[in-house]
Amino acid sequence: MAALKKLLYYYNTRKSIKYGTNVLILLYFFAIIHIFFIRYKGDNIDPSQKYVLVWKRYHLIDVNQKHELLPNLGCRVNKCIFTEDKDLLGGDYTRFDAIIFTESFLKLGDKLKLPERRSPSQIYIFSTLESSYYYPACDVRYDDFFNWTNTHRLDSDVQWPYFVVRNASRHIVAPRQDVHWQVYNAKIPIPVAIRNIFRGRKKAAAWLVSHCNADNSRDDYMTRLQEHLYHFAIHIDVYGSCSNVRCTNDNCAEMLRKDYHFYMAFENSFSEDYVTEKVLHGYDNYVVPIVYGGANYTRFLPPGSYLNARKLHPYNLAYKMHEAIKDPEKYNDFFRWTNYYTLNSPETLPGLHPLCDLCEALHSERARRPRLLPQFRRWWNGRKGLQWCLPFQYWNETSVLRVDRRHLIDMY
């Protein structure tokens, strides 16, 4: 009887062990499947796609369309997935082909946290439309960090312009460093439909402004210009939050087109190649823009279509405005460009959306051998731009002390 009990005990024990072992094997199998799914979810998507992670918010990406393919924007190359979801590829952000960092990344200061891991084949892209004056790159860790630049600068790896100028054949001719403008034929008249827009205009100039007291002295220039315009019995009307005056019927475009001869397209900083959509307020409404900024405008705008305030004394600018308003033929000359060119925001044109160029570049040969930018800060800030990284205390001290600033350039 004792022997039978031992035999039954041995049999039940072996059966329990076998059952327990089977359960453990099954659990291990499910765990492997779970890990595989979490890590490699989405890998069944076409391998020719390029996966692009946005490190922080990016206004070109709709946060409600995560994981979706690049929208149908008419791009020549559209096999890219742009996302803010770091978990799209199993939580491993080193598996993305590229990571986009926007201007907000430069403002983190002491909170700056770089990615802890990085794949050698990954392309880190600095992408912004903002001015380097307001978003300087200060931390030394930005050097040898980015691979590509995607900005308004004409020497960016992938240029992102505020607008494009196209010729009659719809080819983009500007903005470019080596732009070639067509010589106007003075015998070709301005289209009647455009000349009819000018009729009935009574006011000199308008300025739509929300950034008050910019640091580039544009307000001082405007004050002096107003003083000289007074002698010609004309003036500039200021609209927006800086004057608390609203456009007629809250429709600024219609107001400009109907009432004004000139539009003050004054930038808020003198950054390299920084020409924003402000000029389109003029061109879109057939109002002559008066520009004020740090760019070489001959690379951006059709010749004879604008006045450059930085190249004119306020009195001379006032006199030119007065002359053009009094002489319709002189004013018409500002619009000879309309026979040759059109200006548009790239986001409104099929195939010219900023993401199109970025996606195409990621599929190009140069994406296979990304190189680091060793002097990114010097490129982005400019030769003397590091001074904008200094604290306000420094500037307060320089107002009462003589400070040698020559070493600032060497700090790069």
What would the pLDDT profile of 48-101 be if each residue is shown by its tens digit?
Answer: 899 999 998 777 776 555 445 566 788 899 899 998 888 889 889 999 999 999
pLDDT given for residue 350 in this prediction: 87
The average pLDDT across 141-155 equals 96
Helix, strand, or coil (residue 238): strand
65 burial via Cβ count (<10 Å: 0-12, 13-18, 19+):
exposed
For the stretch 353-399, pLDDT in tens is 999 999 999 999 999 989 999 999 999 999 878 777 877 666 555 55
pLDDT given for residue 403 in this prediction: 55
pLDDT given for residue 392 in this prediction: 65
Q: Report the distance separating Cα 267 and Cα 250, nearest Å.
A: 23
Q: Report the distance separating Cα 213 and Cα 180, nearest Å.
A: 36
11 pLDDT band, cuts 50/70/90, is very low
CB contact set of 249 (below 8 Å; sequence gap of 6+): 255
35 pLDDT band, cuts 50/70/90, is very low
Angle 317-297-388 (CA atoms, 0-180°, nearest 5)?
95
- The answer on pLDDT for 349 being more than 50 is yes
Q: Above pLDDT 70, what percent of the chain?
A: 81
- The answer on pLDDT for 409 being more than 70 is no
For the stretch 102-118, pLDDT in tens is 999 998 776 777 889 99
pTM score: 0.84
For the stretch 244-274, pLDDT in tens is 999 999 999 999 999 999 999 999 999 999 9
For the stretch 277-308, pLDDT in tens is 999 999 999 999 999 999 999 999 999 999 99
pLDDT given for residue 33 in this prediction: 42
Cβ count near 283 (within 10 Å): 25
